[in-house]
């Protein structure tokens, strides 16, 4: 198995194509993750970053200077950028979660292709509205799940699709950190909307749902808590706030768990934590009628495969365990692959690398967990008409 796996892997070739013209790209929101976007755009021979916007005065200018990007036009928000820039091929939306829907809808309505950071939105209603606008616009909208570009993640999907596991009936997924609460705009409802669920929970869900073809979620029993984020003893201080202030600001989830029924009779058992008195809530496990796959968690959960996977199956009546080694990725990194896949989809008029048709269900589960947690019992998931 391992030799087959390794020989299947061909590193991405260096981009030696020649391009007729440079794609004109804008960046909306020039905070932390925008750094990864600009670094990747600067690696692309066919890209010119022409416009940047940020709500904080001077932030976009400082950002461009830091990366030595010249000839950029700066704007105070996404609306001003989209109103003034008429030749954009695409924008990266790197704003905090609560402005994802508004910024992406405005960009699509302005006729611009969009790479939107994860999570897609905060609520399912916002996600559905975004998909409606995407459809009406005819433009490209891809969601920024770079772990999808990891060949080890792709291997999970290949194993499921190969039939090695047979019919899948139960999945346990999630991840956690003993202490790993991000700071700044991640911990308040007004900017993040959701906490660990939206930050790292969306990756765990995508890891397994993408592998099994994104079946529709039907019902959810969800739970959320924030015992760590709201406790100054387990909070951190940063440049701008004391631990006490951050504990007071904190009003999103830092832990979530759920029991989800998916179409096709599959059970999804999920848990995610930014902080807890435990290293990991467990590996991801996919149980099928013919075999099972164990995917080790990373210590500080970031949505990737944490070590060699194990395939449990019977061979000639004997119980066998096959180790699937980690496939080294090398260059280019995941972010370069994410940005390149977006650019190639624009150039080749091909579908979004991470389509909203799938991520809508990811968002429906996140939204369902919040709603079920609020009412304290199981709820049915109603996917809005698009
Ligand atoms: N893919 C990944 O690996 C990854 C990693 C970290 C964060 N993220 C996602 O990226 C997003 C941003 O995270 P961050 O850490 O960069 O946050 P951040 O707070 O550092 O940056 C967000 C920036 O957006 C700006 N902004 C907000 N609304 C705006 C608007 N309407 N117009 C222009 N600018 C606006 C803010 O002023 C801020 O500077 C989040 O949704 C987060 O989930 C993704």
Task: State the average pLDDT over residues 286-299.
Answer: 95
Ligand 1 pocket, mutate which of 96, 103, 190 (most atoms under 8 A from CB): 96
Predicted local distance difference test score (pLDDT) of residue 10? 43
Distance CA 174, CA 200 (A): 9
Query: Is the per-residue pLDDT at 154 higher than 90?
Result: yes
CA of 2 to the centre of ligand 1 (A): 39
Predicted local distance difference test score (pLDDT) of residue 17? 63
pLDDT classification of 16: cutoffs 50, 70, 90: low
Rg of the chain, C-alpha, whole Å:
21
CA-closest residue to ligand 1 atom 8: 33
Report if pTM > 0.85.
yes
Atom of ligand 1 nearest to the CA of 146: 1
CA of 115 to the centre of ligand 1 (A): 13
CA-closest residue to ligand 1 atom 5: 33
> Ligand 1: residues within 6 Å at CB?
28-34, 53-56, 59, 77-78, 94-97, 99, 103, 117-118, 144, 146, 184-185, 199
pLDDT classification of 5: cutoffs 50, 70, 90: very low
CA-closest residue to ligand 1 atom 4: 33
Predicted local distance difference test score (pLDDT) of residue 346? 97
Query: Tens digits of per-residue pLDDT, 94-118?
Result: 999 999 999 999 999 999 999 999 9
CATH numbers and ranges of domains, the chain = 9-147+334-353 (3.40.50.720), 151-328 (3.30.360.10)
Ligand 1 pocket, mutate which of 31, 116, 359 (most atoms under 8 A from CB): 31
Query: Tens digits of per-residue pLDDT, 200-259?
Result: 999 999 999 999 999 999 999 999 999 999 999 998 888 899 999 999 999 999 999 999
Atom of ligand 1 nearest to the CA of 56: 37
- Are 237 and 256 spatial neighbours (Cβ–Cβ below 8 Å)? no
Residues 6+ apart with CB under 8 A from 204: 173, 174, 175, 270, 272, 284, 301, 303
Predicted local distance difference test score (pLDDT) of residue 245? 95
CA-closest residue to ligand 1 atom 21: 31
């Amino acid at each position: 198995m391992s030799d087959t796996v390794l020989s299947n892997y061909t590193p991405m070739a260096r981009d030696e194509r020649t391009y007729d013209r440079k794609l004109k790209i804008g960046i909306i929101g020039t905070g932390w993750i925008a750094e990864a976007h600009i670094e990747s755009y600067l690696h692309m021979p066919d890209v010119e970053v022409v416009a940047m916007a940020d709500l904080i005065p001077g932030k976009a200018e400082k950002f461009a200077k830091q990366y030595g990007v010249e000839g950029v036009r700066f704007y105070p928000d996404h609306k001003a950028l989209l109103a003034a820039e008429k030749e954009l091929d695409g924008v990266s939306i790197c704003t905090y979660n609560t402005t994802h829907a508004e910024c992406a809808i405005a960009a699509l309505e302005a006729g611009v292709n969009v790479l939107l950071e994860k999570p897609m939105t905060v609520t399912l209603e916002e996600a559905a509205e975004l998909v409606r606008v995407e459809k009406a616009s005819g433009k490209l909208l891809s969601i920024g799940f770079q772990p999808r570009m990891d060949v080890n993640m792709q291997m999970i999907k290949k194993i499921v699709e190969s039939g090695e596991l047979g019919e899948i009936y139960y999945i346990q997924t999630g991840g956690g950190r003993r202490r790993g609460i991000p700071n700044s705009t991640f911990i308040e409802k007004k900017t993040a909307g959701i906490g660990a669920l939206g930050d790292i929970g969306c990756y765990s869900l995508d890891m397994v749902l993408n592998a099994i073809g994104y079946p529709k979620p039907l019902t959810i029993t969800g739970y959320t808590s924030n015992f760590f984020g709201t406790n100054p003893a387990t909070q951190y201080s940063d440049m701008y706030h004391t631990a006490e202030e951050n504990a007071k600001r904190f009003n999103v989830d830092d832990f979530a768990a759920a029991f989800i029924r998916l179409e096709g009779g599959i059970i999804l058992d999920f848990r995610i934590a930014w902080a807890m008195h435990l290293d990991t809530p467990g590996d991801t496990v996919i149980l099928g009628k013919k075999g099972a796959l164990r995917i080790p968690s990373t210590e500080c959960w970031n949505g990737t495969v944490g070590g060699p996977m194990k395939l449990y199956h019977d061979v000639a009546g004997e119980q066998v365990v096959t180790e699937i080694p980690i496939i080294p990725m090398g260059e280019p990194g995941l972010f370069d692959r994410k940005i390149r896949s977006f650019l190639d989809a624009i150039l080749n008029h091909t579908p979004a690398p991470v389509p909203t048709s799938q991520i809508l269900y990811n968002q429906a589960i996140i939204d369902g967990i919040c709603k079920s947690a609020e009412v304290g019992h199981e709820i049915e998931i109603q996917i809005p008409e698009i």
